[in-house]
Amino acid sequence: MAVGEREALARDLVAASYLKGDFVLRSGKRSNRYFDKFLFETEPALLKRLGAHLAALVPVETERLAAPELGAVLLGGVVSMETGIPLVLVRKEPKGYGTAKQLEGRFAAGERVTVIEDVVTTGGDSLRSIEALKNAALEVIHLVVVLDRGEGGEDNIRAANIPYSPLFRIQDLDLD
């Protein structure tokens, strides 16, 4: 990604989704800053640009993409369209009706999967999704994320032996 283009994407990401205030994060921690992923994922032009840049981080040996619900579904879809790699969706828990699946979409045991995520704080939600994929006999080979908040997620993900590529780290963004 060209430096000027990367800087413009970072500025646009911040402008679209960075909020200041008092927030409780998924991890339970409180924060005075928050990235509302739905604000950047529901802007078609920004979503398309993010998808193109995330697609560039997907390893060539990837046979299937995976996106955890709800936040990463649109990102997974746009990366799938950009790369042509099929997508599976990961529910937080198996649905209690119909097929009672936790993974939605077609896949085969042993496929090499790259997980697409939005924002990582501690990495706990990403690791739960990865566990669901592994339980379905899929090989998770990489995790690609839009933003790492710099609060331990990368260390936790690497401790689980998952290669990890954030498009942006919090220190890459101008938050003033």
List the structure tokens of 49. Answer: 């640009």
The span from the CA of 83 to the CA of 149, in Å, is 26
CB 128 within 8 A of CB 69: no
Q: Give the residue numbers spanning the domain of 132.
A: 3-172
For every one of its 176 residues, what pLDDT tens digit does the chain have, with 9 covering 90 and above?
566 888 999 999 999 999 999 998 777 888 898 999 999 999 999 999 999 999 999 999 999 999 999 889 999 999 999 999 999 999 988 777 766 689 999 999 999 999 999 999 899 999 999 999 999 999 999 999 999 999 899 999 999 999 999 999 999 898 87
What angle do helix axes 3-17 and 44-55 make, rounded to 10 degrees?
A: 130
Phi and psi angles of residue 51, each rounded to the nearest 5 degrees, phi first: -60, -40
pLDDT of residue 141: 98
Query: Which residue from 173, 164, 144, 150 is spatially nearest to 58, judged by alpha carbons?
Result: 144
**CATH number, domain with residue 50:** 3.40.50.2020
CB 14 within 8 A of CB 174: yes
Number of structural domains the chain divides into: 1
- In the three-class reduction of DSSP (H, G, I as helix; E, B as strand; rest coil), residue 142 is classed as strand
